[in-house]
Amino acid sequence: MLSLILLLVLVGVAAYFRSPAWLLSLAAVVGLALGGAAWWAYIPVLIVAAACCIPPLRDFILGRIFGLYKKITPAMSETEAAAIDAGTVWWDGELFSGKPDFSKLQNFTTPTLSAEEQAFIDGPVEELCKMLDDWEMQHKTKDLPPEAWQFIKDSGILGMIIKKQYGGLEFSNYAHAKVVMKVATRAGSAAVTVMVPNSLGPGELLQHYGTEAQKDYYLPRLAKGLEIPCFALTSPHAGSDAGGIPDFGVVCKGSYTDPTTGEQHDDVLGIRISWEKRWITLAPVATVLGMAFKMYDPDGLLGDKKDIGITCALIPTSHEGVEIGRRHYPGGSVFMNGPTWGKDVFIPLDWIIGGVEYAGKGWQMLVECLSVGRCISLPANSVAAGKMAGYTTALYARIRDQFGLPIGKFEGVDEALSRIGMYTYQMEASQDLALTALDNGEKPSVISAILKYHNTERMRKTLNDAMDIHGGRAVVLGPRNYLAAAYQAIPVAITVEGANILTRSMMIFGQGAIRCHPFVLKEMRAAADNDAKAFKQAFGGHLHFAFTNAFRSFWLSLTNGVFAGAPKNSKATARYYRQMTRLAANFALVADMSMFSLGGSLKFKEKLSARLGDILSNLFIASAVLKRFESQGSQKEDEAVMRYAAEQALFDAQTALDGLLRNLPMRPLAWLLRVLTMPLGHNINAPADKLASKVADDMMKNEGMLARLSKGMFVPDNEDEAIGLLPVAHAAVIAAEPAEKKLRNLTRKGKLVQPSPALRLQEALDNGDITQQEFDLVTRGRQLKRNVIMVDDFDMQLEQHDEKLLERHVF
């Protein structure tokens, strides 16, 4: 027994520090020797040591495994391979390693705005926001105002990603995101209008893959707003399965008239394309159409390959046969979105983005660019929703009272309000960490999927909580209702750029398991290339990785990471770093064992894949939360929201781990993994109620913490606007509180007997119980509070006369 204990202790210590195989073997032998083990106890240890440490024997065993691996590994489609190869691995790879180096996290440069970028946000972006009125756009014009459209074109905001040599702004990804975020806090439809040309579309694709002629012609025109671009990928029969698009083009000779010059070109080698696309943003007003289609060359006009593959082309919408102009109405939002279609439309080969050399490379082009755009547009919109919901709800919860108390003081309300603050903190922290990667030249495809899913889901939760707290104030539509438009548009963000169900259940772990794992992709490539040497090296490393992770996971779980290291200068965050180290080791182990036990069938076990993705995602979110807190100077005022955000992410990761182990099909393996990952059960607790109440209270003060949480959002400096009224009313209500308290005390003592609050106020003044100044403070506070609480009402015939929706009754 002593020998076994010493063996496990010494091997465990060696494994914890990921010692090489020979040192692990030596530790096992020493443990047996110190424990006085019988001779036969050495036999299994020596056999394992020989298999690991003697090259000929190790190569023989790994050679047999290589043969089996090639037989059982499922073939990968071209689209799957392109998705796997797209982008780069960054902090997600550290988390997948099971032993993240948090000094790297702390050393990542914190993104900031340049003077030029800040001036643009404070100037043109602010000016654009003042031109927008969500209510009028939704219920009268069904579009952005003409002056806003012109300003968008003239200001250069459509060319944020375009290099200055082509007339663009060449902003950082961080600035791009902050511009979109600010516009989105004012009007989501305007934000979508701005973000699409700067995201996945012709501009992005041209800069990376376009020919010099294409860049020289289109990029200056796109930067100046002379062209409005859209990109057509989705079709009625290919949504999530974008690689299965039915739209096709056949290489042939034909004739066309150049829509830009009017010149006629005959007997030209080109492509005859037929397509039907739906849900294409800006399509109704686009002047240039990016098109993804499957390209075929049945007559071999370009070479021997008949099925060339997905290809991307640029087609002027004025070109003969291109149909646009009809629109969809997505969730009540008025951004331009609609169908485009065409049949047997002939285009020359040089309209392919990148020229004929890039024919068939469209899918790879798209997934590489998508990993950038998905870190920016929808996550920024989600951050905007969180900021707007957090700011307005915090002030409203402090202004509105019931039973003599601000509603935010009731625990049921503060629970929801604190969630809004916590999720908003998580969302912006996660996006800022991803933007750090982008601005350092990374294209983190797995992280972009994490952001797309988790930010939009947190947006949904924050808006739901905001609606609940506002109650009837947010139910009644009207110009005063600042939540309804964002609430109605939630399904748009959830659905586009990879539906959330697909992203969570298939993409995050499905892509991450191969792309971020230290050895899996190397093994797969070695098998595909029939490279036995490379496979043996990768698989040997994989075995060592899995073995050491088992010991690390058990030890770290037994102690909840108490003895794990934490970066220097991390006093407030140290225990979260330690718990993350524990969960990262747990994740690395269960990810390996899930792939080992299920093999290629794991990608069909979407619920398990989703839970594995949730663990990885919440580890990334927790990392981002700690990074944000420390980057902002570890502000004491922000400590409560940081703790809440970190603890919730870690608790959610543990919950996902528990769900995985409850449902892993190979039950004996699941039982063993539970011992190795949760030997003491759930020892990561959910955030305490007291902590949540502290976050809500901090938000309602409208001081430093809320200022940082809502930084960058557009707040009108006009009391006539609903959001602009909130800070003014908030200050007035707080200023009147001492006098209001005095009035309540006088009423309870029977000194004020008038039947209404207004009459009692006058009675108190007449009796000399309050001063004129106190009277004025209470009067103003009550009037502003009433203005905040009031909702709009309309003419009885509003359903017959839509313009009457703009005629509200003013109190």
Token readout for 310 is: 């997905």
Measure the CA–CA gap between 675 and 555, rounded to whole angstroms: 11
Measure the CA–CA gap between 402 and 410, rounded to whole angstroms: 10
Token readout for 164 is: 């200055």
Token readout for 593 is: 């064992």
Nearest-10 Cα torsion for 196, 197, 199, 203 = 160
Measure the CA–CA gap between 379 and 390, rounded to whole angstroms: 16
List b or e across 205-237, with b for residues whose CB sees 16 or more CB atoms inside 10 angstroms.
bbbebbbeebbebbbbbbbbbebbbbbbbbbee
- 482 neighbors 392 (Cβ within 8 angstroms): yes
- 232 neighbors 256 (Cβ within 8 angstroms): no
- 416 neighbors 465 (Cβ within 8 angstroms): yes
Q: Residues 455, 461, 464, 467: is their CA dihedral positive or negative?
A: negative
Token readout for 345 is: 């439309």
Helix 212-223 with 202-209: angle, nearest 10 deg: 150
The values of phi and psi at residue 564, to 5°, are: -70, 150
- 257 neighbors 263 (Cβ within 8 angstroms): yes
Could you tell me how far CA 1 lies from the centroid of its own chain?
51
In sequence order, what are the beta bridge partners of 257?
264
Token readout for 62 is: 């790994």
Indicate which residue of 457, 497, 647, 740 is catalytic: 497
In sequence order, what are the beta bridge partners of 264?
257
Distances (CA, A) of 42 to 14, 26, 36, 45: 18, 11, 11, 5
Measure the CA–CA gap between 487 and 468, rounded to whole angstroms: 12
Is-catalytic flag, 320? no
Token readout for 391 is: 């700011």
Nearest-10 Cα torsion for 53, 54, 56, 61 = -50
The values of phi and psi at residue 265, to 5°, are: -125, 125
- 607 neighbors 505 (Cβ within 8 angstroms): yes
DSSP for 177-230, please give it: HHHHHHHHHH-HHHHHHHHHHHSTTHHHHHHHH--HHHHHHHHHHHHTTSS-EE
Measure the CA–CA gap between 481 and 792, rounded to whole angstroms: 8
Measure the CA–CA gap between 257 and 223, rounded to whole angstroms: 26
Measure the CA–CA gap between 416 and 655, rounded to whole angstroms: 21
Positions marked active-site? 497
